[in-house]
Amino acid sequence: MKFSSAIALTILAASANGYELLKDYAKGFRIGCATNTIHYNKPEYISAMKAFNYMVAENGCKFVSIQGTKGKFSFNDCDNHLKKAAELGMAFRGHALIWHAMAPKWLENEDSNTMKQSIINHITTVLKHYEGKIDTWDVVNEAIDDGSNGHGWKMRNSFLYQKVPNFIDIAFQTARQVSPKTKLFYNDYNTEGIWAKSESVYQFVADLKKRNIPIDGVGIQYHVGIKVQPKFESINDLIGRYCKLGVEVHITELDVSCDDNCYDSDGGDSKQGQVYTNALKACLNNSCCTGFLVWGVGDNDSWREAKNKPLLFNTNYQPKGQYTAILNLLKNTPESVLKDRAVQAPSIDFEPAGKVVKLNDGWYTIKNPASGKYLCVKDGKGANDQNVEICSTKQKWKVTNNSDKTITLTTEFGEYNLDVAKGSDENGANIIIYKANGGSNQKFVLRESNNANAYTITTNISNGYRTLDIESEGRVDGANILQWDNEQKGNQIWNFEAASGSSGSQTEAPSQATSCWSESLGYKCCSSCNVSVQYTDNDGAWGVEKNEWCGILKNCGSSNTCVGAQGYPCCKNTCEVYSTDNDGKWSIENNDWCLIDKTKC
């Protein structure tokens, strides 16, 4: 499923949330928050996220989260953050490729030469995976020592620095070579213009620029409080100096403790709001400041504890005075100031789990094999808003295929369709029946599951990311059906059994040798077998015709010639190896990755 910010925007989101959204007044200027997938099951958390147009993962994209075991890359959590950003129309910021504090033990225990190669391999693999999806990354995080006094800088004496003293240069150089279009940032704390370290980090970045190390920006974390905060003049001047240096600035992790004012009549909101607005004013006052993020959503989620009330939303995910202060500042900022630094978010192409399955039109019973129960309308009654649950009765449902490759499911109790209540795309939305109306909330897509001849029934209203789910994994008659993230669990798997006397049976799978397998993925098949293979994946071989991807028919045969992988072509002229993974050996041609042709090298 292909997302773009424009498509993913929720119509009338402000009225649905009950308050005005920051993103609606940011005019494309990136204003965001750090999120964590462990909270994505809270509707109120998701609603608060919708106030922003920019996201960063708290931990999901860090080294240990992606490569906890050497050589085994798991992008699941980082991908899930990115998918949620795409779903909500948010741009996404990568954080962080190299950081001493969340690195796996196996890396820490390596010798110098091995560690250097591991750093290169990790950066290479991660940036290749997110090429074209994440346009900005913190390449190195928190490498300058807190004791730096403003006269030069002192490197943090981490295991990284001890074994690979030039690891920062290596990291930035590798990142630029791997992904030339990605913006590369250095990110650090105590750099807001309060402490001497602020000047040391500035000098450090200036040195990187002087030595032609490819750095594009600086992340100022901005963990402060009412008692300890930078003067507006200090942070404004500091950002201005970075502008003159030729780098961008993001305020990346802003939170503000209420300190001694926590028990003021307004809980410290007004004074915290002043800290927030000073930071945003300084950012908007300098054209190189292109991003502004807070480190968390609600106070309960903050690493600084709820009692310090550090974020824009309270423990119930309702906006506080600080939020209103930021909102009002955006409202009063000239539109030209915001639009001049707006950056178009990359389109993010993610396909929900499981290949699309097509059944014949007709009548079926729908059984959950884990419980042995069937999909049923409560009390066998056809009426608007009638609940859907599991029961022992083999109730029938009519499958009707639609022109947009979705299906509708009509109950046997009249012209009532399976329906996601209130057209909600959120987890926990109830499943009911309602008079047939052709709406997106009455459309579904069947997808393959991990079980043979069993499917998930994904909801079109959620772009296919959520599926029919038996609440609390219930297995008794009357257990409720709702919508939830597709995790391919037993309570989300269904068998479609042709009803007795029905002409509707499961579609015979066409021969893979001759069928146009790529049509179900939204692409035409190639017109002949003479099309060159550009790359292969689990679906099949892909070619290009008229500047568009096409699926090569299975009966076109195989070849001993090189095919690309992961969307990259084979190298035409080079055999120089820059990286190695399960697909083979990789090099670079025309500023892009290519797979080395084994037949030539």
Confidence of residue 466 (pLDDT cuts 50, 70, 90): confident
CA distance 498 to 78: 40
Is the pLDDT at 14 greater than 80? The verdict is no
Mean pLDDT, all residues of the chain: 87
The one catalytic residue among 20, 110, 142, 248: 142
Residue 425: name the closest of 384, 380, 466 by CA: 466
Give the pair of three-digit tokens for residue 440. 């997106």
Q: Examine the residue annotation and report whether 415 is marked as an active-site residue of this protein.
A: no
Check for a shared fold between 2-338 and 362-498: no
CA atoms within 13 A on the CB side of 158: 24
The DSSP string of 138-149 is: EEEES-B-TT--
Mean pLDDT of 18-47: 94
What pLDDT was estimated at residue 502? 46
Confidence of residue 241 (pLDDT cuts 50, 70, 90): very high
Distances (CA, A) of 401 to 410, 466, 492: 11, 20, 21
At 178, the amino acid letter reads: V
Confidence of residue 595 (pLDDT cuts 50, 70, 90): confident
The one catalytic residue among 87, 253, 389, 426: 253
Please state, for a pLDDT cut of 90, what percent of the chain lies above it: 68
Pairing of β 564-565 and β 535-536: parallel
The fold adopted by the segment(s) 2-338 is: TIM Barrel (3.20.20)
Q: Does domain 362-498 match CATH 1.20.58.220? A: no
The set of residues, in sequence order, having a beta carbon less than 8 Å from that of 479 and lying 6+ positions away, is: 371, 373, 389, 390, 470, 471, 472
Confidence of residue 16 (pLDDT cuts 50, 70, 90): low
Question: Cα–Cα–Cα angle for 448, 453, 457, nearest 5°?
Answer: 45
The structure tokens 């993610």 sit at: 350
Domain borders along the chain are 2-338, 362-498, 517-595
The DSSP string of 225-294 is: ESSS---HHHHHHHHHHHHHHT-EEEEEEEEEE-GGGTTSTTTTHHHHHHHHHHHHHHHHTSTTEEEEEE
Question: pLDDT digit string (tens) for 261-306?
Answer: 988 988 889 999 999 999 999 999 999 999 999 999 999 999 999 9
Q: Examine the residue annotation and report whether 253 is marked as an active-site residue of this protein.
A: yes
CA distance 232 to 192: 10
Give the pair of three-digit tokens for residue 115. 């560690």
Question: pLDDT digit string (tens) for 471-514?
Answer: 999 999 999 999 998 888 899 999 999 986 444 434 333 333 34
Positive or negative, the CA dihedral 551, 553, 556, 562 is positive
What pLDDT was estimated at residue 594? 74
pTM for this one? Answer: 0.64
Is the pLDDT at 334 greater than 90? The verdict is yes
Give the pair of three-digit tokens for residue 280. 């945003």
The structure tokens 């029919």 sit at: 468
Question: Cα–Cα–Cα angle for 483, 484, 486, nearest 5°?
Answer: 120
Question: pLDDT digit string (tens) for 508-567?
Answer: 333 333 456 676 666 777 766 666 676 666 677 777 776 677 777 766 654 434 555 555
Distances (CA, A) of 466 to 144, 197, 437, 485: 43, 47, 21, 4
CA distance 6 to 4: 5
